[in-house]
């Protein structure tokens, strides 16, 4: 029976992939992509993941998991596999897979889609499952601890610094996405602002009024944020309120920074916890709705399979298809960040080792599917509209007439009237140069939802999508700042012991301020950048995220070799080699390329020459020194990332060589065998 | 009809378990099984749980 299903999947998958391959110069239906994706995931899960679990990781269901051995009814709790799956997916799911595919759509739908599928099945899912498994065998130790225990102090330090930097870049770029979505949009701004008191209300409900009634509190909160979406529309029609919420980007960036700082020092129950509940429910609901709508509506993909921008002069960000498609789409294909979540909370919930495949591999498959849907939502727009929304004023000009002229000259016809009527339908003043990916994704989602559930509510759907992304991003921003703060406090504690105490208020204030200042700086520079800033920050974030994945895969490869499974180490070694090539190539180009759209130093040089020659307009000249400094700083950061990555790889390599030569290596930190006694669990049933 | 009801009730139990809505009931059951003495109050339990849950990396990109 299983064989028949496998063969059937392979046949349907092959037909769908062939369908995609053969539809080269005509529009393709999104259903082909969905079918191909589902079949590839199913095959990957059924065969590859099962093989890796059985032969490479050598999963042993007779072995007691930490949840069973240390069961304390709180963090170590044996949990039904579908509940643990839900937990883990909620933790890894963030705004990343929504933004990356949207940006990568400038190359056409094909490159990004292939990388999402192949990268996830052979790379990302394997990384998540392996790290989850290894951490589970080590009582839920973190990636940093495992790197230190198994590779040495250098590996541990590299993981710590890498995590801290990636966190800062991630928050900055996500903050920029929110700012660009709210800029001069009273409806979006009013709605997003309203979500803050709603979260606080839910927080008070869950803490003071009805402690722990999480479902009840979340339902109230969801009703209120939906009301806020509708209320934002009302604000938009009110002449006075409209002006009150019409903010340019710089004050909005100030709001985001201030919000981040306050959220980081407030107790978690007041803002972070309730916001996280809301965003998790919103994401689950929206993703399910999107999947159903795409299947019901099965829209045509209007973007070509490949665009001319594969040669590197794309308007969203500069750089050729190799290596930049692999950098732009990190979350959804391979995301190093997941290794941090997979080592920590989730391993302490696993009831049986047999569940690791569903929780580790399966959650990442679903995350990857979210990325596929984001790709569909971006590519079903008219390409002209897509580029008009996503190209910065610095690329296509700030006047609408100039922008549509440039974009039409690329072979993607679009008119000012078309953009105006679209903006009007969505309840916005303009959709030109709304970089960052969120607005174009929102337009795509609104078109899908509007066509499925009635076009009368396009404005509501658009702002629902914006609110959904913003709530998500703000909770990542808040949680990330807090995590960064803990790490920084840990580091500072080595200098002066009281600073390491996470509850000492002066230390909380100091470390929160430092972290917020770190990402606030990048956010500020992104906002003043006439090209939108996302074009610089997102690739940098992608490089950092892939570098973290490479560190995680190095730890995994090192452990596989140390535990005598060198024969199968290719399972993690090959994705590692690929990521090392991709990140190094991207970092090299970002640093040394002579093309100012790609090379950071070339851009800094070009800008300073223009500044010296006095050929810049006054406004551009005023911000040029800051941009020049930032581009040089980014180049140094990129170099630092690459150096850290190669240090870890070398560290891993020498541990492996010593082991293969039979020389002594540090003992593995795996917990000793203990027989499992746990009875099978039921969903949500008694333990 | 019975199947529909069974599916719905499993779904609700799953939702309660995933969101942590039933965490206190689980804690009470665990406490009764393994520890003597009085358990934490509902309020104190959730206060501890939230601090612990958001004390580490709980959210991804």
pLDDT band at B36 (very low <50, low <70, confident <90, very high): confident
In this complex, the residue of B18, B30, B60 whose CB is nearest that of residue A73 is B30
CA dist., res. A570 & res. A648, Å (int): 17
Cβ separation A684–B13 shorter than 8 A: yes
Neighboring chain A residues of B12 at a CB cutoff of 8 Å: 684
Cα distance between the two ends of chain A? 33
Nearest-Cα residue of chain A relative to residue B10 = A683
Phi and psi angles of residue A63, each rounded to the nearest 5 degrees, phi first: -95, 135
CA dist., res. A684 & res. A290, Å (int): 27
- Judged against a pLDDT cut of 60, whether residue A687 lies above it is answered with no
Residue of A167, A335, A311, A257 lying closest to A526 (CA atoms): A257
Reported as a single tens digit per residue, the pLDDT across A327-350 is: 999 999 999 989 988 998 899 999
Count the alpha carbons within 13 Å of A140 in the hemisphere toward its beta carbon.
Answer: 21
CA dist., res. A489 & res. A476, Å (int): 19
- Judged against a pLDDT cut of 70, whether residue A266 lies above it is answered with yes
Whether chain A has a CB inside 8 Å of the CB on B23: the answer is yes
Q: What percent of chain A has pLDDT over 70?
A: 99
The contacts of residue A256 (CB under 8 Å, 6+ apart) are A175, A178, A179, A477, A523
Q: Which helix (H) or strand (E) holds A466?
A: helix A458-495
Neighbouring CB atoms inside 10 A of A124's CB total 29
CA dist., res. A151 & res. A667, Å (int): 10
Q: Work out the average pLDDT over B17-45.
A: 90
The residue with greater pLDDT, A298 or A7, is: A298
Q: Are A617 and A611 in contact (CB under 8 A)?
A: no
- Judged against a pLDDT cut of 70, whether residue A533 lies above it is answered with yes
Residues 395 through 454 of chain A touching chain B, CB cutoff 8 Å: none
What DSSP string describes A558-625? HHHHHTT-GGGTHHHHHHHHHHHHHHHHHHHHHHH-SSTTT-HHHHHHHHHHHHHHT-S-HHHHHHHH
Cβ separation A94–B61 shorter than 8 A: yes
Best A268, A328, A344, A475 residue to mutate vs chain B (most B CBs within 10 Å): A268
Taking one residue from A and the other from B, the number of pairs with CB-CB distance under 8 angstroms is: 133
CA distances from B42 to A202, A320, B26 (A): 17, 56, 11
Neighbouring CB atoms inside 10 A of A488's CB total 21
Cβ separation B54–A335 shorter than 8 A: no
Q: Work out the average pLDDT over A160-172.
A: 88
Q: Are A249 and A179 in contact (CB under 8 A)?
A: yes
CA dist., res. A440 & res. A390, Å (int): 7
Best A69, A74, A164 residue to mutate vs chain B (most B CBs within 10 Å): A74
Q: Are A566 and A551 in contact (CB under 8 A)?
A: no
Whether chain B has a CB inside 8 Å of the CB on A687: the answer is yes
Q: Work out the average pLDDT over A233-261.
A: 95
pLDDT of residue A1: 66
CA dist., res. A665 & res. A669, Å (int): 12
CA dist., res. A403 & res. A111, Å (int): 26
Neighboring chain A residues of B61 at a CB cutoff of 8 Å: 94-96, 170, 174, 330-331, 335, 337, 476, 545
Nearest-Cα residue of chain B relative to residue A210 = B43
Whether chain B has a CB inside 8 Å of the CB on A143: the answer is no
Q: Are A540 and A637 in contact (CB under 8 A)?
A: yes
SS3 A672: coil
- Judged against a pLDDT cut of 80, whether residue A260 lies above it is answered with yes
CA dist., res. A458 & res. A462, Å (int): 6
In this complex, the residue of B27, B59, B60 whose CB is nearest that of residue A74 is B27
pLDDT of residue A323: 94
Cβ separation B60–A82 shorter than 8 A: no
Reported as a single tens digit per residue, the pLDDT across A184-194 is: 999 999 999 99
State the average pLDDT for chain A.
Answer: 93
Q: Are strands A28-29 and A300-301 parallel, antiparallel or unpaired?
A: antiparallel
The phi-psi region of residue A238 (left if phi > 0; otherwise alpha if psi is between -120 and 50; otherwise beta) is beta
Neighboring chain A residues of B47 at a CB cutoff of 8 Å: 207, 211, 269
Nearest-Cα residue of chain A relative to residue B41 = A211
Neighboring chain B residues of A268 at a CB cutoff of 8 Å: 50-51, 54
Cβ separation B60–A77 shorter than 8 A: no
pLDDT band at A24 (very low <50, low <70, confident <90, very high): low
CA distances from A300 to A27, A28, A72, A100 (A): 6, 6, 52, 21
What ipTM was reported for this prediction? 0.93
| CA of residue A325 relative to chain centroid, distance | 15
The contacts of residue A83 (CB under 8 Å, 6+ apart) are A349, A683, A684, B14, B17, B18
Cβ separation A87–B18 shorter than 8 A: yes
SS3 A233: helix
Cβ separation B14–A684 shorter than 8 A: yes
SS3 A95: coil
Count the alpha carbons within 13 Å of A253 in the hemisphere toward its beta carbon.
Answer: 23
Neighboring chain A residues of B52 at a CB cutoff of 8 Å: 74-75
Q: Which helix (H) or strand (E) holds A29?
A: strand A28-29
Cβ separation B59–A276 shorter than 8 A: yes
Whether chain B has a CB inside 8 Å of the CB on A93: the answer is yes
Best A165, A215, A685 residue to mutate vs chain B (most B CBs within 10 Å): A215
Reported as a single tens digit per residue, the pLDDT across A418-474 is: 999 999 999 999 999 999 999 999 999 999 998 888 777 899 999 999 999 998 899
Whether chain B has a CB inside 8 Å of the CB on A81: the answer is no
Residue of A239, A250, A125, A238 lying closest to A184 (CA atoms): A250
- Judged against a pLDDT cut of 90, whether residue B1 lies above it is answered with no
The contacts of residue A244 (CB under 8 Å, 6+ apart) are A186
SS3 A678: coil
Q: Are A481 and A519 in contact (CB under 8 A)?
A: yes
Neighboring chain A residues of B18 at a CB cutoff of 8 Å: 83, 86-87, 90
Neighbouring CB atoms inside 10 A of A414's CB total 22
Q: Are A33 and A372 in contact (CB under 8 A)?
A: yes
pLDDT of residue A685: 66
pLDDT band at A12 (very low <50, low <70, confident <90, very high): confident
User: How many helices (H) and strands (E) are present in chain A, helices listed first?
Assistant: 30, 2
Q: Work out the average pLDDT over A263-276.
A: 90
Q: Work out the average pLDDT over A117-123.
A: 98
Whether chain A has a CB inside 8 Å of the CB on B9: the answer is no
Neighboring chain B residues of A94 at a CB cutoff of 8 Å: 59-61
Residue A323: cis peptide before it, omega within 30 degrees of 0: yes
| Bridge partner residues of A28 (DSSP) | A301
The contacts of residue A519 (CB under 8 Å, 6+ apart) are A168, A169, A171, A172, A175, A260, A481
CA dist., res. A526 & res. A625, Å (int): 14
Nearest-Cα residue of chain B relative to residue A218 = B19
Tell me which of A262-266, A317-321, A451-455, A572-576 is least confident: A451-455
CA dist., res. A669 & res. A675, Å (int): 18
pLDDT of residue A622: 92
Residue A609, Cβ density class (10 Å: 0-12 exposed, 13-18 middle, ≥19 buried):
exposed
CA distances from A658 to A123, A566, A655 (A): 26, 12, 5
Cβ separation B10–A684 shorter than 8 A: yes
Residue of A89, A252, A122 lying closest to A177 (CA atoms): A252
SS3 A301: strand
CA dist., res. A503 & res. A262, Å (int): 16
Cβ separation A94–B17 shorter than 8 A: no
Phi and psi angles of residue A419, each rounded to the nearest 5 degrees, phi first: -65, -40
Nearest-Cα residue of chain A relative to residue B47 = A207
Tell me which of A30-39, A143-152, A154-163, A213-222 is least confident: A154-163
Cβ separation B14–A686 shorter than 8 A: no
Cβ separation B60–A73 shorter than 8 A: no
Residues 153 through 192 of chain A touching chain B, CB cutoff 8 Å: 170, 174
* Torsion sign across C-alpha atoms A555, A556, A561, A563: positive
Reported as a single tens digit per residue, the pLDDT across A589-620 is: 999 999 999 999 999 999 999 999 999 999 88
Radius of gyration of chain A, Cα coordinates, nearest whole angstrom: 24
Q: What is the 3-state secondary structure (H, E, C) of A371-408?
A: HHHHHHHHHCCCHHHHHHHHCCHHHHCCCHHHHHHHHH
pLDDT of residue A72: 86
Cβ separation A211–B46 shorter than 8 A: yes
- Judged against a pLDDT cut of 80, whether residue A628 lies above it is answered with yes
pLDDT of residue A686: 59
- Judged against a pLDDT cut of 80, whether residue A305 lies above it is answered with yes
The structural domains of chain B, with segments of one domain joined by +, span 23-61
The DSSP call for residue A28 is E
């Amino acid at each position: 029976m299983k064989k028949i299903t496998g063969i059937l999947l392979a046949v349907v998958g092959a037909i769908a992939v062939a369908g995609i391959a053969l539809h080269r110069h005509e529009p393709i239906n999104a259903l082909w992509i969905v079918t191909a994706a589902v079949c590839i995931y199913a095959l990957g899960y059924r065969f590859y993941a099962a093989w890796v679990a059985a032969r490479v990781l050598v999963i042993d269901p007779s072995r007691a998991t930490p949840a069973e051995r240390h069961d304390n009814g709180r963090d170590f709790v044996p949990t039904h596999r579908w509940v643990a799956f839900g937990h883990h997916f909620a933790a890894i799911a963030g705004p990343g897979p929504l933004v990356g595919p949207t940006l990568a759509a400038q190359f056409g739908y094909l490159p990004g889609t292939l990388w999402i599928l192949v990268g996830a099945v052979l790379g990302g899912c394997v990384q998540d499952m392996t790290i989850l498994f290894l951490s589970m065998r080590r009582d839920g130790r973190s990636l940093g601890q495992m790197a230190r225990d198994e590779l040495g102090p250098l590996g541990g330090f590299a993981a710590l610094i890498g995590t801290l930097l990636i966190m800062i870049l991630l928050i900055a770029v996500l903050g920029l996405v929110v700012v660009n979505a709210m800029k001069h949009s009273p409806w979006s701004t009013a709605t997003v602002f309203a979500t803050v008191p709603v979260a606080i209300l839910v927080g008070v409900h869950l803490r003071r009024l009805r402690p722990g009634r999480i479902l009840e509190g979340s339902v109230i909160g969801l009703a209120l944020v939906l009301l806020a979406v509708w209320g934002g529309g009302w604000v938009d029609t009110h002449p006075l309120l409209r002006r009150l919420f019409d903010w340019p980007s710089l004050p909005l960036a100030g709001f985001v920074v201030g919000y981040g700082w306050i959220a980081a020092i407030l107790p978690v129950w007041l803002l972070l916890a309730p916001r996280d509940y809301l965003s998790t429910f919103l994401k689950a609901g929206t993703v399910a709705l999107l999947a159903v709508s795409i299947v019901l509506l099965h829209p045509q993909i209007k973007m070509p399979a490949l665009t001319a921008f594969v040669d590197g002069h794309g308007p969203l960000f500069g750089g050729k298809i190799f290596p930049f498609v692999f950098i732009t789409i990190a979350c959804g294909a391979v995301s190093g960040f997941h290794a941090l979540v997979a080592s920590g909370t989730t391993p302490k919930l696993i009831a049986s080792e047999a569940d690791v495949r569903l929780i580790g591999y399966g959650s990442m498959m679903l995350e990857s599917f979210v990325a596929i849907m984001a790709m569909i939502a971006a590519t079903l727009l008219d390409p002209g509209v897509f580029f008009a929304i996503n190209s910065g004023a610095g690329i296509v000009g700030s006047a609408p007439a100039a922008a549509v002229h440039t974009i039409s000259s690329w072979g993607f016809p679009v008119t000012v009237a078309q953009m105006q009527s679209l903006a009007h339908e969505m309840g916005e003043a303009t959709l030109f140069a709304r970089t960052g990916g969120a607005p174009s994704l929102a337009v795509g989602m609104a078109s899908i939802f509007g066509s499925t559930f009635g076009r009368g509510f396009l404005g509501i759907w658009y702002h629902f999508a914006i609110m959904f992304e913003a709530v998500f991003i703000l909770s990542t921003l808040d949680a990330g700042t807090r995590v960064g703060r803990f790490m920084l406090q840990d580091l500072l504690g080595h200098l002066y012991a009281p600073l390491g105490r996470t509850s000492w208020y002066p230390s909380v204030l100091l470390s929160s301020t430092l972290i917020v200042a770190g990402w606030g700086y990048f956010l500020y520079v992104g906002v003043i950048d006439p090209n939108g800033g996302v074009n610089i920050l997102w690739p940098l974030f992608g490089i950092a995220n892939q570098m973290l994945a490479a560190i995680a895969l190095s730890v995994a490869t090192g452990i596989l070799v140390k535990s005598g499974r060198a024969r199968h180490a290719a399972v993690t070694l090959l994705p590692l080699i690929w990521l090392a090539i991709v990140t190094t190539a991207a970092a090299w180009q970002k640093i040394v390329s002579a093309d100012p759209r790609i090379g950071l130093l070339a851009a800094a040089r070009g800008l300073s020459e223009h500044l010296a020659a006095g050929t810049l307009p006054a406004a551009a000249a005023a911000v040029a020194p800051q941009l020049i400094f930032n581009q040089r700083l980014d180049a140094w950061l990129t170099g630092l990332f690459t150096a850290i990555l190669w240090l870890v790889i070398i560290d891993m390599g020498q541990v492996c060589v010593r082991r293969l030569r039979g020389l002594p290596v540090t003992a593995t930190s795996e917990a000793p065998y203990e027989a499992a006694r746990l009875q099978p669990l039921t969903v949500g049933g008694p333990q | 009809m019975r199947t529909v009801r069974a599916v719905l009730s499993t779904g609700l139990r799953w939702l309660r378990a995933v969101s942590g809505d039933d965490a206190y009931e689980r804690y009470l059951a665990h406490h009764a099984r393994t520890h003597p003495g009085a358990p934490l109050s509902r309020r104190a339990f959730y206060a501890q749980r939230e601090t612990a849950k958001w004390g580490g990396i709980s959210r991804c990109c």
